[in-house]
Structure 1
Amino acid sequence: MTDPAPDVLAPATLGPVQLRNRVIKSATFEGASPEALVSDRLIDYHLAVAEGGVGMTTVAYLAVSPEGRTHAEQIWWRPEALYGLRRLTEAVHATGAKVSAQIGHAGPVANGQYGHPSLAPSRSFNPLAMRFHRAPTETDIDRIVADHGEATRMAIEAGFDAVEVHLGHNYLASAFLSPKLNRRKDAFGGSLVNRAEFPRRILAAVRRAAGDQIAVTAKLNMKDGYRGGFDIPDSIPFARMLEADGHLDALELTGGSSLMNPMYLFRGGAPVKEMATNMPMPALLRLGIRAVGKGFFKEYPWEPLYFLEYAKKFRTALSMPIILLGGITDRAAMDTAMAEGFDFVAMGRALLREPDLINRIAATVDSGAPVVSKCIHCNLCMSTIYPGTHCHLDDEHVYGTPLPIHDPLLKAGA
């Protein structure tokens, strides 16, 4: 007789961390870190979902190296950022929720316009900076691996309960995994084992730094979503390598490429005009996006649990805990995920629209009345990720107005 599926709203253990339920707010860049430091707005953003009932919220995206940012105002790990991050974790903990830090290096997704050349596995053109990405040397690789370990140590100091290592969306570690983007001829290119070496070194460094103090998860592409990219024939064997390495407490499955096919992750509408207007990019590129953006921002229909069928292949291949995301907006989808053997669910846009959605769902447990998410999957929120991520349909939870930074180190000129 098989064991019953776990209750998604009951307490659960993630590595050394006890969560009040199995719902995780996924990492979505908040656009709320002026001067690359925590603002009141960023704290309010995560307080809203923490008070709204999630088991854990994830702060995104915290770069391990200054050149690993996608935007100049993105937080990167350094001593002067810790005061604000500690304020954030303490505020979230006061609600009973836990908090994770997404760490990583943007690599070819980095902007490269603010004094730090962007990196990619192989030399290639960066349209955002209108210059070429530089291929990292082995010295660069060693430094970036060490930066992940140092970021983990600082996350512990700042009070985080977990770190999520970004191995998706063709950020640097993910780009190394892509046969199309990684054309190296050295020990970091060619075979899957070689392409996997860099991300595996990263996870080993993170686990060494984390010990058993905090949970370690990773966000991994199942499919890059373009021809010649990282796909199921490679991603499942790579996931097995990660399981055998034993550095992770859970694996979150995702897909798509910020470079090649961003809508593969999001599904639903593609707000090309709004993104061309609001995203920081050269004027020539802005015109290009307006002219041919529909070809780059391909639209995929939204449907509940849109990554489930691919994720089930990983569930069959692995015994480690897995976090399922993609099209999870109601209790029925959560229960399906639990019944299919997944351990946690991750939610993004639906919580941006309604930070209290989990509390609303929990309030109907006895009655069984369905709670329908108000998110319409228009993806207009994508166009707000730099001026301040918010839902265009929500008048109450708008985080687009900059708020002051309460950081004495910054004010002291540190």
Structure 2
Amino acid sequence: MNDPRPDVFAPAKLGPVTLRNRVIKAATYEGLTRKGQVTDALIDFHVRHARGGVGMTTVAYCAVAPEGRTDPRQIYWRDEAMPGLRRLTDAVHDEGAAVQAQIGHAGPVANPKANGMPALAPSRHFHLTTQTFTKPATRADLDRIVEAHGRAGRMAAEAGFDAVEIHMGHNYLTSAFLSPKVNRRKDEYGGSLENRARLARDIGRAVRDAVGDRIAITAKLNMDDGVPGGFWIDEAVQVARWLEADGSVDALQMTAGSSLLNPMYLFKGDAPLREFAAVMKQPTRLGIKLVGRHFLKTYPYEDLYLLKDARQIRAAVKLPMILLGGVTDRVGMDTAMAEGFEFVAMARALLREPDLVNRIKADPATQSLCIHCNKCMTAIYGGTHCVLSTEPAWGSARA
């Protein structure tokens, strides 16, 4: 009765929304959409996580513009996608959970060959995976993308989502502008941190203006790109303060790494080089076999591996914060609560066991079966799942 920590399994407010508990299924691209449309398999995926006990599940990844997709199957916000999105949110709500949509623009991480449109970036950049150069975004491009984020937020509210998560990490477009490694512009969007953060702040305000207080707004913000000369924690502290001052977000989820330059930096654990090579086309497959170990590096895994850096953000802002990274058991959840984080986000552990939250609630000694082999990362091309599980968290990919 005298424990000052919030109970992770008690209801909690996130902006205007009350979640049934403080556990959020983090965004993990599901690979279950078809031609930009929701499938029954995608609904099954999120229903199973909702049924498994999370307070909120996150649909990833919903691009704000067609050229902002990393995969041509991905949802992008348009009228044709709305009926399927409404079916998805209704199904999750029927299980008692909330649901948020991750919105963003992949920028230099986008796949220009599959999209049939150039990938946009702050500056010209060669993308190893797609063997293409990016197109520096013009002011007109940026104005359009800011407006598209606002439209995405408004459509998410109309589709029944309880929240949107603005993707500001992993060197997707907003994160790429924040990074001095990727952003070499000389205009008002480059150079100083204030200039590099201009796009992030404009997007946050556009989404807030579009949705008001109808739904919650969270932001996934990088703390560290994982490369020399990239975005770093001291700059992330200031950007977090600016987002708080702008009143554009209800909570922050801190992340790390670069899908463009160092993708394994976020995940920690094994780097599944053989499995990545197997799902890639030539010449990328040969490149991974020859030099993949220099790009897909191995970082030792430990529980709560982002906590050390996230503490610095926690100390700098009063905004609610969501702790991501190695949350696998009740001990980790309670540690996050004791450290001042209002929510925790789980990803790989729930791919392994979608009902893990319910089982931890029933028995606090429950341990995750996830071994952090990261082979689930290579499963996105056929439907994201734990390759060690005998039962994926979705049914057949019915359209």
Range into which the TM-score falls when normalised by the shorter chain: over 0.9
Q: How many residues were matched structurally?
A: 397
Partner deviation per Cα, 1:119-166 (whole Å, 9 max, x = no partner): 111011123332210001000000000000111111011100000000
Aligned to 2:163: 162
Aligned to 2:32: 32
Q: Secondary structure at the match of 2:312?
A: helix
Aligned to 1:216: 217
Aligned to 1:308: 307
Q: Offset at 1:180? A: 0.7
Aligned to 1:345: 344
Contact (CA 8 Å) 1:112, 1:128: kept in 2 or not?
no
- Does residue 14 (structure 1) correspond to residue 8 (structure 2)? The answer is no
Contact (CA 8 Å) 2:127, 2:260: kept in 1 or not?
no
Partner deviation per Cα, 1:275-296 (whole Å, 9 max, x = no partner): 12114xx511221011111111
Aligned to 2:385: 390
d(CA) in 1 for partners of 2:117, 2:157: 27
- Runs (4+) of structure 1 moved beyond 3 Å? none
Aligned pairs for 1:30-69 (under 5 A) are 30-69=30-69
Contact (CA 8 Å) 1:167, 1:220: kept in 2 or not?
yes
Give the partner amino acid of 2:382: P
d(CA) in 1 for partners of 2:188, 2:323: 32
Q: Secondary structure at the match of 1:385?
A: helix
d(CA) in 1 for partners of 2:191, 2:389: 47
Aligned pairs for 1:7-406 (under 5 A) are 7-114=7-114, 115-279=116-280, 282-364=281-363, 368=364, 370-397=365-392, 399=394, 403-405=397-399
Contact (CA 8 Å) 1:19, 1:55: kept in 2 or not?
yes
Give the partner amino acid of 1:134: K
d(CA) in 2 for partners of 1:26, 1:293: 27
Q: Offset at 1:210? A: 1.0
Q: Secondary structure at the match of 1:42?
A: helix
d(CA) in 1 for partners of 2:352, 2:398: 24
Q: Offset at 1:387? A: 1.5
Contact (CA 8 Å) 1:32, 1:402: kept in 2 or not?
no
d(CA) in 2 for partners of 1:110, 1:144: 14
d(CA) in 1 for partners of 2:372, 2:348: 8
Q: Offset at 1:5? A: 1.0
d(CA) in 2 for partners of 1:387, 1:88: 20
Contact (CA 8 Å) 1:219, 1:252: kept in 2 or not?
yes
d(CA) in 1 for partners of 2:250, 2:174: 19
Q: Secondary structure at the match of 1:47?
A: helix
Q: Offset at 1:402? A: 5.0
Q: Secondary structure at the match of 2:144?
A: helix
d(CA) in 2 for partners of 1:300, 1:206: 35
Partner deviation per Cα, 1:168-205 (whole Å, 9 max, x = no partner): 00000000000010000000000000000011000000
Q: So what's the TM-score if we normalise by structure 2?
A: 0.98
d(CA) in 2 for partners of 1:6, 1:61: 30
d(CA) in 2 for partners of 1:388, 1:276: 17
Gaps of 5+ in 1: 406-414
Q: Offset at 1:241? A: 0.8
Aligned to 1:411: none
d(CA) in 2 for partners of 1:311, 1:198: 22
Q: Offset at 1:273? A: 1.1
Q: Secondary structure at the match of 1:316?
A: helix
d(CA) in 2 for partners of 1:131, 1:250: 35
Q: Secondary structure at the match of 1:372?
A: coil
Q: So what's the TM-score if we normalise by structure 1?
A: 0.94
d(CA) in 2 for partners of 1:121, 1:259: 13
Contact (CA 8 Å) 1:113, 1:128: kept in 2 or not?
no
Q: Secondary structure at the match of 2:344?
A: strand
